[in-house]
């Protein structure tokens, strides 16, 4: 199965938690019907990405990255790559690359969709249609900063950094509802 076919299967099977998520799911599917190359950074300026909230086993801490281009703390994630065979695999790859943590336990289905505009700092990328997953990190190993980040650190879920992405609190609250 191709990455596009896997992505369409995942999005079709995704069970939205509310009307906004349902609208996003429909928008993503329409976008990919119009732009089959919409899974690639080299495709249209609006394209899919895969991200991953990494939680500690107690679910009281979240691993965030201080994004180099964005200048804000956000979950791990990024563009799909040619070697990715599945959307979930892309999210897991990005989480491992950006955190330096191996053996992440990935929940196989997405937990949310998030569509956001990008600043000029992101070059030709103008909008990301993100598919968000969640994983648990085993034990209490320290993360390793990648070249895409300024920093990577664990944060209490109820005490996010002041420079967190504008809607990160809302997204974590949505995630908590999904994980119950």
For the segment 111-139, what is each residue's pLDDT rounded down to a tens digit?
Answer: 999 988 666 666 677 778 899 999 999 87
Task: Determine the structural domain holding residue 109 and report its residue range.
Answer: 3-179
- Helix or strand or coil: residue 146? coil
Question: Which residues does 163 contact at the CB level (< 8 Å), separation at least 6?
Answer: 66, 71, 72, 73
| pTM of the predicted model as reported, rounded to 2 decimal places | 0.94
Residue ranges in 44-167 assigned as alpha helix (H): 87-99
Give the count of domains, the chain.
1
* CATH number, domain containing residue 69: 3.90.79.10
Tens of pLDDT, residue by residue over 51-108, are 999 999 999 999 999 988 778 899 999 999 999 999 999 999 999 999 999 899 999 9
């Amino acid at each position: 199965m191709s990455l596009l076919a896997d992505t369409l299967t995942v999005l079709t099977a995704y069970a939205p938690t509310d009307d906004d998520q349902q609208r996003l799911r429909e928008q993503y599917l329409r976008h990919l019907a119009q732009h089959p190359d919409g899974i690639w950074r080299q495709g249209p300026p609006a394209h899919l990405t895969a991200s991953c909230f990494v939680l500690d086993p107690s679910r009281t801490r979240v691993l965030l990255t201080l994004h180099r281009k964005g200048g804000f703390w956000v979950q791990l994630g990024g563009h799909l790559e040619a070697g990715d065979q599945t959307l979930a695999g892309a999210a897991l790859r990005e989480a491992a690359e950006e955190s330096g943590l191996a053996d992440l336990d990935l929940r196989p289905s997405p937990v949310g969709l998030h569509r956001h505009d990008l600043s000029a700092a992101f070059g030709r990328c103008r909008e990301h249609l993100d598919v968000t997953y969640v994983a648990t990190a085993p034990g209490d190993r320290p993360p390793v900063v990648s070249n895409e980040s300024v920093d990577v650190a664990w944060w209490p879920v109820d005490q996010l950094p002041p420079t967190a992405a504008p809607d990160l609190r809302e997204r974590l609250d949505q995630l908590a509802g999904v994980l119950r």
